[in-house]
Amino acid sequence: MDRNAPIGVFDSGIGGLTVAREIIRQMPNERMVYFGDTARLPYGSKSQDTVIRYSRQIIRFLKTQNVKAIVIACNTATACALEAVKEDLDIPIIGVINAGVRTAVNSTRNGKIGVIGTAATIRSDVYTKELKKLRADLEIIGKPCPLFVPLVEEGLWHDTVTDEIASRYLSCLKGKYIDTLVMGCTHYPLLRSTFRRVMGDEVTLVNPAYETAIELKALLEENGLSCTENPGEDQYHFFVSDQAENFTNFATAILPNEIQETKQINIEEY
């Protein structure tokens, strides 16, 4: 495996860009190929079988780009598909759940952890299972928050309506006196300041995007896969299954660099 090959990152759409952003910040020399499944988003309302089928198609596409490792930058796809797709893959693959789980367990003092995410992520109970594997006596309170993704995508990152919806969604978590809140959807770091305001300074916000980039860096080092050459100009490639122009605008708003181009592919061919 070529250590200077790109990292493959995928998500159902734009949310995974918060993970891509952390990878760019923490590993500025690494190349990256990002795929956003914008034709078939959101994954949060889909069944496990469907999400596994979609993830397999995307991984087949990323392999055509010679990626050296893959990050599933999507909580729903990690929850539904990581274990299934890992089996038949010959390169390292990580999701966005493990790193956040480890950080949450290390952060909590009172053992009460809240998890927010899409309906599918919370329904899958993956955070509860993974957190309890590390510490069985934890009390985990999961809360599905289906409106946060459309609010982020409508640009209401700092808005009274988002505050109101957040107050409603998070009130049950405040009532349980959690001291740690896992942002279990990749869109959610963009609403961090709202969560901070609603939850107060006492609660630790865990950002799995940030933690996952740290995990990826260690994984590449362990496997002798860290990039050693200057990536040059052609460092980042973005692909989507639909609406390339919208994606480019959103990516430019989220990432540190301006995005020149997003290519559209027919993912169902893979």
Active site residues: 74, 185
268 counts as binding its own copies under rule CB under 8 A? yes
Question: Cα separation of 2 and 268, whole Å?
Answer: 28
Binder of its own copies out of 1, 161, 172, 218 (CB under 8 A): 161
154 counts as binding its own copies under rule CB under 8 A? yes
Residues numbered 195 to 224 that lie near its own copies (CB under 8 A) are: none
Considering the complex, state which of residue 15 and residue 100 has its C-beta at the smaller distance from its own copies.
Answer: 15
Smallest gap from residue 149 Cβ to its own copies (A)? 8
Q: What is the DSSP letter of 215?
A: H
83 counts as binding its own copies under rule CB under 8 A? no
3-state SS, residue 41: coil
27 CB-contact burial (10 Å; exposed 0-12 / middle 13-18 / buried 19+): middle
Q: What is the DSSP letter of 242?
A: S
Question: Cα separation of 71 and 29, whole Å?
Answer: 17
Residues numbered 89 to 128 that lie near its own copies (CB under 8 A) are: none
With contact defined as beta carbons under 8 Å apart, do 21 and 71 qualify?
Answer: no
Considering the complex, state which of residue 134 and residue 161 has its C-beta at the smaller distance from its own copies.
Answer: 161
Q: Show the site string, 220-259: x = touches its own copies by CB under 8 A, - = not.
A: ----------------------xx--x-------------
Measuring CA to CA, how many Å separate 72 from each of 126, 135, 149? 15, 25, 18
H-only helix segments in the chain:
17-26, 48-64, 75-86, 98-107, 119-124, 126-134, 148-153, 160-175, 192-199, 208-222, 244-254
Label the pairing between strands 180-183 and 7-11.
unpaired
Binder of its own copies out of 20, 85, 113, 151 (CB under 8 A): 151
50 counts as binding its own copies under rule CB under 8 A? yes
Considering the complex, state which of residue 28 and residue 150 has its C-beta at the smaller distance from its own copies.
Answer: 150
3-state SS, residue 163: helix
Residues numbered 28 to 47 that lie near its own copies (CB under 8 A) are: 38-41, 45-47
Binder of its own copies out of 132, 153, 174, 265 (CB under 8 A): 153
From 15-23, 82-90, 145-153, 248-256, give the range in contact with its own copies by CB under 8 A.
145-153
Chain residues binding its own copies by CB under 8 A are: 38-41, 45-47, 50, 146-147, 149-151, 153-154, 160-161, 164-165, 242-243, 246, 268
